[in-house]
Amino acid sequence: MRKAIFPGSFDPITLGHYDIIKRSIPLFDEIIIAIGVNAEKKYMFSIEDRTRFIKEAFADEPSVSVVVYEGLTIDLCKKLKANFILRGLRNPADFEFEKAIAHTNRLLSKIETVFLLTASKTSFISSSIVRDVIRNGGNYEMLVPDSVRLKK
């Protein structure tokens, strides 16, 4: 079984994340979106909201599920018997950063990392940009799945 973990903070999930997940569905039997919790980080959205956003966005995709975790992603992979880590790449800086993590994970666990390039129409979107637009009252709706749109 080809099982992948797609780790991230998803604060919030963006159309870039959504695109990577949708395009990876045919590649894997199961995709687990893993919301990482870092006690040092201040989040805009609660873990419950982030989980709900993702579950609602993929409600019609039985091969996609969501978990919350702390610690190393490779430990979660071992626990859930996942063979792959899925990551999206927007630009060369993402590649350099993710390459170092992938090499470390491979050395420590033999778990492969699979990279998908973001679609050109979503390659500029990041969760931090979305949060900044929201904080400043801008129209963020074209940057996120419908499930993230805040009640007005």
Positions marked catalytic: 17, 41, 90, 127
> Annotated binding residue at 81?
no
Contact 101, 116 (CB under 8 A): no
> Annotated binding residue at 112?
no
> Annotated binding residue at 46?
no
Contact 36, 87 (CB under 8 A): no
Which tokens is 82 given? 């996942």
Which tokens is 23 given? 């395009």
CA distances from 19 to 77, 101, 108, 151 (A): 22, 22, 29, 24
> Annotated binding residue at 17?
yes
> Annotated binding residue at 63?
no
> Annotated binding residue at 126?
yes
- Binding-site residues sit at 9-10, 17, 41, 73, 87-90, 98, 122-128
- Binding-site residues for substrate sit at 9, 41, 73, 87
- Binding-site residues for ATP sit at 9-10, 17, 88-90, 98, 122-128
